[in-house]
C-alpha cells in the first residue's frame, strides 16, 4: 500500500525531482506550486504526507501551514516535512510550531527522505 503525498514547491526542478522520487518509491503523488494551491489540494485530497518548501511566492510554506492548521478537519492530521534552502532558524522553528514533524535543507538527500517516509505508517 502507498502513501498519498503532496509536494508544494515553486521551483519546478525541485518539484519534479521530488515527484519522480516519490513515485519511484511506490507512493501516490500530487503537486502544487505555492501554498495557496497546496492548501486547496490538501483540503480536497487529504494526503497523509505533505512536503512543502518554506520560501515561496504568493503564499509561503509557513502561511500555508498556518492556514492548513486553521481550516483542516480535526481528524485530518498529515505528516508535514518542510524543506528549504533559504530559511533561517526562526523560520525553521515556526515550521515546527505550526506542526511540521521534520525539516530538511536543500539540496534534498533522497536517502534521508526515504528514511523519513519509511517511518510513516500507511493507513
pLDDT in tens, 65-112: 999 999 998 889 999 999 999 889 999 999 999 999 999 999 999 999
Instruction: Give the pLDDT of residue 123.
Output: 72
Q: What would the pLDDT profile of 20-53 be if each residue is shown by its tens digit?
A: 999 999 999 999 999 999 999 999 999 999 999 9
Structural domains in the chain, CATH included, are 4-116 (3.40.50.2300)
Show Cβ contacts of residue 10 under 8 Å, excluding neighbours closer than 6 positions. Answer: 33, 34, 53, 56, 57
Residue 8 near residue 37 (C-beta atoms within 8 A): yes
Amino acid at each position: 500500500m502507498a502513501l498519498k503525498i503532496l509536494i508544494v514547491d515553486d521551483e519546478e526542478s525541485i518539484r519534479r525531482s521530488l515527484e519522480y522520487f516519490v513515485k519511484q518509491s511506490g507512493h501516490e503523488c500530487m503537486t502544487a506550486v505555492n501554498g495557496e494551491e497546496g492548501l486547496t489540494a490538501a483540503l480536497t485530497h487529504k494526503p497523509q504526507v505533505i512536503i512543502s518548501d518554506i520560501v515561496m511566492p504568493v503564499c509561503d510554506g509557513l502561511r500555508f501551514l498556518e492556514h492548513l492548521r486553521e481550516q483542516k478537519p480535526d481528524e485530518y492530521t498529515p505528516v508535514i516535512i518542510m524543506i528549504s534552502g533559504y530559511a533561517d532558524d526562526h523560520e525553521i522553528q515556526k515550521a515546527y510550531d505550526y506542526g511540521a514533524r521534520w525539516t530538511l535543507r536543500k539540496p534534498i538527500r533522497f536517502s534521508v527522505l526515504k528514511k523519513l517516509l519509511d517511518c510513516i505508517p500507511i493507513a
